[in-house]
Amino acid sequence: MTVMEAWDRARAENLVAREIVPWAERELGFQATPTQAEALKAVVSHPNTVIRSCNGWGKSAIAAIRILHWLATNRPAKVIATAKTHRQVNNQLWAEVRRWGQAFADRRGWELSPRTANLKTQDPQTFGLGFATDSTARLEGFHSPNLLVVVDEAREVPEEIYQGVDRLQPVSRLYISTPGSPRGRFYDCFHSSNWHAIHIDAEALNLEEERVSPTWVRDQLETYGQTSPFYAQSVKGEFSEVLESPYFNPSHVESSFTIGEIPVLEGDLWLSIDWGERHDYTALVEGRGTVVTRVDTMQADYMSVIAEVAARNRARPYSWIVADEGEGIGQISRMRELGLPVEGRRWTRERKLEDLSSLKLALESGTIRFAPMPSQEPDRTWAREQLLAYQRIPTPSGDSKFSAPPGQHDDIVTALAIAYGKLQGRSRYGVSIQRLRR
Ligand SMILES: Nc1ncnc2c1ncn2[C@@H]1O[C@H](COP(=O)(O)OP(=O)(O)OP(=O)(O)O)[C@@H](O)[C@H]1O
Ligand SMILES: [Mg+2]
């Protein structure tokens, strides 16, 4: 390359870099906040960028804009996007690709799959594809002169995957995450001169012009306290050692998933529901006796969930249904009108503690079992992950808070706890917990 060519190229690149923000606004309707605009410009100016930030700043959205911009400005061009779980890839990252890219893709005649993390263009050599690292898909055969690899929730992705990414020799990489503990590949990138590093600390943001909600920051402060490692990670975007104190004993959780010791399925068929608020997940956990036979999570409106429950009930009637009542009173009366045998469970603090300890007891005593659910594998995996991640977190006031770590989900744990709380309280339910514990 001559000096002139190099100069032209640098100028063109600089132009593209400055262009991404107005491009996103014009083409995608994405109006970047001030720090998002800075980050987007940096991402296009550096082949390898790592971003660590507080929760809710817009990490997945920024990754999505980068993906769409890459496919729109390079040809041929491939994007491989990954994160640890299917839920993170499909329902978080690719949900942002769909949100900002759907109209754009339609105008260009691109195909953006509503169900899977997939974007096809007319050129078979130009596409975007996302998959979870816990799936069987493999990071091979995606070579392209213009390959971009995006890793969301990068702190959770195992080293083998990063090695797989390196073997692909992408021309550009974007790793983005709320930080975790100070080790691993994502952490290392912040100490390597090959990477352009960005750090977003919610305490240093002007929250009036950013996406992070001041109420959320205040809540986090009150719940965890300023010196808590959770606060450091989720609000300040700092790597920090979290002293894990899992609420459920991991070996009990693991053994409840051990296949091959499933007792004969007998007893009542039941269903437990934890309603997701707005964009959150609704979890449906189904069981017979004390065996969990099916786990589903869905981002759907309440009426669709109720329709699904009613359809299942017609196919195989439930002996009982229990649902959290918090936001769900309207749903519960609707279900009663449909003749479903539903009971609302009000999750006061006391009831929550009771239900959680019933579930803990069921795990300890080996009463609860997860039947193999071949067609439901992702959700079964989530059930296991949520149980393992669930924490007892000391609060500044000296109490304990029981929840998923910040930024993670606990909908399945809640549905399980409600169900086992109810099972514990019943005198007869097919298979008795008391009987099995002996
Ligand atoms: N500039 C923006 N304009 C409008 N909406 C935005 C913007 N940036 C992000 N959002 C929306 O805000 C929400 C949160 O953003 P996003 O999920 O990208 O944050 P995140 O940092 O990935 O959060 P988490 O820490 O939970 O993974 C999403 O619904 C996203 O579409
Ligand atoms: Mg995200």
Ligand 1 pocket, residue 33 CB under 6 Å? yes
- Write down the pLDDT at residue 15: 62
Residue predicted with more confidence, 381 or 271: 271
Q: What is the mean pLDDT of the segment spanning 389-399?
A: 85
Query: In ligand 1, which atom is closest to the CA atom of 53?
Result: 21
Give one word for 112, left, alpha or beta, with left for phi > 0 and alpha for psi -120 to 50: beta
Q: Which residues have a Cβ under 8 Å from the Cβ of 417 and sit 6 or more positions away?
A: 352, 355, 356, 358, 359
Residue predicted with more confidence, 219 or 278: 219
Alpha helix segments (H runs only) across 338-376: 349-364
Task: Give me ligand 2 centre to Cα 339, in Å.
Answer: 39
In 44-153, beta strands by DSSP E: 48-53, 78-83, 111-112, 118-120, 127-132, 147-152
Closest ligand to C-alpha of residue 234 is: 1
Report residue 438's pLDDT band, with 50, 70 and 90 as the boundaries. Answer: very low
Q: Which residues have a Cβ under 8 Å from the Cβ of 260 and sit 6 or more positions away?
A: none
Report residue 428's pLDDT band, with 50, 70 and 90 as the boundaries. Answer: very low
pTM beyond 0.85: the answer is no
* 140-190 residue pLDDT tens: 778 899 999 999 999 999 999 999 999 999 999 999 999 999 999 999 999
Supply the mean pLDDT for the chain.
89
Q: What is the mean pLDDT of the segment spanning 395-405?
A: 84
Closest ligand to C-alpha of residue 66 is: 1
Q: Are strands 127-132 and 196-200 parallel, antiparallel or unpaired?
A: unpaired
Residue predicted with more confidence, 242 or 356: 356
Task: Give me ligand 2 centre to Cα 96, in Å.
Answer: 9
What proportion of the chain, given as a percentage, has pLDDT over 90? 67
Report residue 86's pLDDT band, with 50, 70 and 90 as the boundaries. Answer: confident
Question: From atom 8 of ligand 1, which residue's Cα is the shortest distance away?
Answer: 58
Using DSSP, how many helices (H) and how many strands (E) does the chain show? Answer: 16, 16
- Write down the pLDDT at residue 400: 85
Closest C-alpha among 87, 181, 132, 116 to residue 410: 87
Ligand 1 pocket, residue 96 CB under 6 Å? yes
- Write down the pLDDT at residue 92: 92
Query: In ligand 1, which atom is closest to the CA atom of 96?
Result: 31
Residue predicted with more confidence, 3 or 127: 127
Cα–Cα distance between 388 and 250 in angstroms, integer? 6
* Residues with Cβ–ion distance below 5 A, ligand 2: 59-60, 92
Out of 61-75, 111-125, 321-335, 355-369, least confident range: 321-335
- Write down the pLDDT at residue 416: 97
Cα–Cα distance between 113 and 382 in angstroms, integer? 23
Ligand 1 pocket, residue 55 CB under 6 Å? yes
Domains present along the chain, CATH in parentheses: 3-234 (3.40.50.300), 245-435 (3.30.420.240)
Ligand 1 pocket, residue 88 CB under 6 Å? no
Ligand 1 pocket, residue 211 CB under 6 Å? yes
Query: In ligand 1, which atom is closest to the CA atom of 99?
Result: 31
Ligand 1 pocket, residue 101 CB under 6 Å? no
Q: What is the mean pLDDT of the segment spanning 397-410?
A: 85
